Homo-oligomer: A and B are copies of this chain.
Amino acid sequence: MSKIQNDSLQRIGWIGAGVMGASMAGHLRAAGHELYVYNRTRAKADTLIAAGAHWCDSPAEVAARVETLFTIVGYPDDVSAVYLGEDGVFAGAARKRNGANAGVAALKTVIDMTTSSPDLAREIAARATELNIAALDAPVSGGDVGAREARLAIMVGGDASAFAGSKPLFEILGANISHMGPAGAGQATKLANQILVAGNMIGACEALLYARRAGLDPGAVIDVIGKGAAGSWTINNLGPRIVAEDYAPGFFIEHFIKDMGLALQECERMRLELPGLQLVRDLYEALAKHGHARSGTQALYLGLAAMNGL
């Protein structure tokens, strides 16, 4: 039974109040939507609750109280637990079908914004369909700054009409929103993005290490080579941090390893060998084992330097 609401304002669920998720949910709240929040660690949702969001004790409870539900959690296992677990989103939606929370509009759309597995996105979409719920996979790029400034790129997979219906919400969160195909296509696009980053990153780190060993001023080298046919976001944005020996995380190495692992898993399933991606992942894993799991991805430079006794 649908509750009549303001045309554009609705009850929205948000699961995952990490650095990215808290900023993103905050934008939806600021736009006037009624927000229902769950997070494994409750304290991280405090700011949202202070801004008027309602706390829920489980993903199931969120699911029973909203029409549209977003998730952005850590790893595919977390996504799986949130959606398919005993007290998960689909359990909550099914219970509601059986009578709980009458008078509240039923859950219509779930949107997972975690970078996760395309396969899992398809599994979630299939289960959602059984419950007459639309599922979108909608991972993002742009990092914490993009989340804060609502300038994320959002890559969406799933049903086209569900995408169209959710677009006004995406537009509150990001600036570059694309429907890439059926369920899983958003995740696959994000993995392609990460494969590209892996190549750009080793190129940038090796070029700067070579420049340093060759006695060049690496900042001057970036100024010259970053502008032409060798240019990349990585060399122009992370290059100067490497030169300044700033390895603070814009994006954690452990998360990048997760993403590259997902891509390699997909590759294995498709019997696709990508030697560059494999090499970069292996280098990052060695780096993580040496205490850099929570350094920024630009610390690949340190791994290459260490490998060379520098």
Binding site for B on A (CB under 8 A): 118, 141-143, 153, 155, 176, 178, 180-181, 185, 188-189, 191-204, 206-211, 213-217, 220-221, 223-225, 227-235, 237, 263, 266-267, 270-277, 279-280, 283, 304, 307-308
Contact = CB atoms under 8 A, between A and B. Distances in A.
B203 A207 contact: no
A153 B224 contact: yes
15 contacts: A181-B217, A188-B211, A191-B210, A192-B208, A192-B221, A198-B203, A199-B201, A199-B206, A199-B276, A202-B276, A203-B276, A213-B272, A232-B232, A275-B304, A276-B280
Main secondary structure of the interface of A (DSSP, over half): helix
A155 B213 contact: no
A139 to B, nearest CB: 11
Given A199-B199, A199-B202, A209-B274, 19 more contacts: A181-B215, A189-B225, A192-B225, A193-B228, A193-B230, A195-B210, A196-B225, A199-B203, A200-B200, A200-B203, A203-B276, A210-B266, A229-B233, A229-B234, A275-B304, A276-B276, A276-B279, A276-B280, A279-B279
A285 to B, nearest CB: 14
A87 to B, nearest CB: 32
Contacts of A274: 206, 209-210, 304
Contacts of A202: 199, 275-276
Contacts of A142: 228-229
A251 to B, nearest CB: 8
Contacts of A215: 181, 185, 188
- Smallest CB-CB A-B distances: 9 pairs: A199-B203, A232-B232, A202-B276, A196-B207, A188-B214, A196-B230, A193-B225, A195-B207, A206-B274
